[in-house]
Amino acid sequence: MPKVKRPQIAGPAYDDDLDPPPRRRAPPQPKRRPRDIPYSVAWFRDRAATYALGTIICGALMLTIAAWMGGSLGAFGNRMNNGFNVIAGWAGIAVKDVKVCQRPDGEPTRVCTPIDGQLTAKVLEAAEVREGASILSADPHGIRDRIEKLDVGAVSVQRQWPDRIRIELEQRKPIALSQEDGEGSAWRVVDQSGRAFAEADLSKYARLPRVVGKDASEAAAMLVAAIAHYPDLAERMEIAYRINGRRWDVKFKGRTDVVSFPVDARLPEQLEALNLMHAQTRVLDLPAMQIDARHPKYLALRPIPGAAVIPPSGDT
């Protein structure tokens, strides 16, 4: 049987002249020449590279010298730290000045007001920052924590680049003697924030007003500031008792009773009323078992039984 040839199917015919055009390529981008880089960027890059290389070389040299000398790990750490300080000096970021300033009334100020020289020495010693050390190693939070352990007020530490550190201390003012745990406990000298001084000679502050009771230290600043507007009352105030953490009973000199004042929010107005009545009638000199100044419109007196409640002779 004769063999049958498989028919061959021809593919589509293409005309060489009609071939699709070659794919277009994006034009080559011109290479960025070194002089096209901004000068500031190039300067910073070169400077950083120089410092990095210098740090690596110095570290390697100190490691080699320490190993050759057989130094301990602590000695090597000191040598390493000294090397970094030298590098910081070359870079212009070594500490040149540490200022200890007083912050008046708790507010920051641009002018540095010096404080007592002895206290300055204690602060600098606690800060543990010496001139010539890298400012990068001066941690403001760590410095503040170390200084706050001293008998000082609020502390603020700032790194003023590239080579200065400023430490600001809030001025503490003794305002009262406080018995926080009630009568019978030890007296403490407290400042305007209610914080007790760790070291204070009580004999030097015997003339300060005295406050007694829980939370009396924290509230003393408000009482002292309010009564300071009335010198006659401030001079005669002897002991103030904190009542329920919201108001005061005040004992004035020359009296065995107390004057009951309202809540703290109304204390200034009632002090003004008491000061006016005392100027007119010498009410604080009258024989009374108690004077109640809590009412917004009048002062109530509880007289001593059998005593005549009249102003002293010559007073109106």
- What are the tens digits of pLDDT across the range 239-275? 999 999 999 999 999 888 899 999 999 999 999 999 9
pLDDT tens by residue, 134-151? 887 888 899 999 988 887
Question: In the structure, what pLDDT confidence band is assigned to residue 63 with cuts at 50, 70 and 90?
Answer: low
Last residue of a domain, one of 170, 203, 235: 170
Report d(CA 123, CA 99) in Å as an integer: 10
268 assigned to some structural domain = yes
187 with 273, same domain: the answer is yes
What is the helix (H) or strand (E) element at residue 2, kind and residue range? none
**Both tokens of residue 46?**
């070169």
197 assigned to some structural domain = yes
pLDDT (mean) for 32-59: 64
pLDDT tens by residue, 190-210? 998 888 888 778 888 989 999
Nearest in space to 226 (alpha carbons), one of 276, 267, 287: 267
pLDDT tens by residue, 105-129? 656 667 788 887 788 888 999 998 8
- For the cut 60, the answer to whether the pLDDT of residue 82 exceeds it is no
CATH (domain of 186): 3.40.50
Residue 261 is predicted with a pLDDT of 96
282 with 216, same domain: the answer is yes
31 assigned to some structural domain = no
Report d(CA 169, CA 156) in Å as an integer: 7
149 with 236, same domain: the answer is no
pLDDT (mean) for 24-47: 61
Residue 312 is predicted with a pLDDT of 47
Q: Mean pLDDT score of the chain, rounded to an integer?
A: 78
pLDDT tens by residue, 205-220? 989 999 999 899 999 9
158 with 220, same domain: the answer is no
Count of structural domains within the chain: 3
23: region left, alpha or beta (phi > 0 left; psi from -120 to 50 alpha): beta
Residue 212 is predicted with a pLDDT of 94
87 with 109, same domain: the answer is no
Spatial contact of 188 and 180, defined as CB atoms under 8 Å apart: yes
Residue 188 is predicted with a pLDDT of 92
Question: In the structure, what pLDDT confidence band is assigned to residue 289 with cuts at 50, 70 and 90?
Answer: confident
71 with 110, same domain: the answer is no
281 assigned to some structural domain = yes
pLDDT (mean) for 86-98: 68
Last residue of a domain, one of 91, 109, 135: 91
Distance of alpha carbon 66 from its chain centroid, rounded? 42
51 with 82, same domain: the answer is yes
Identify the burial level of 196 via C-beta atoms within 10 angstroms of its C-beta, where 0-12 means exposed, 13-18 middle and 19 or more buried. middle
Domain that holds residue 224: 176-303
153 with 189, same domain: the answer is no
Q: Tell me the β-bridge partners of 134.
A: 94
219 with 263, same domain: the answer is yes
For strands 237-243 and 247-252, give the pairing.
antiparallel
CATH (domain of 129): 3.10.20.310
Last residue of a domain, one of 135, 155, 170: 170
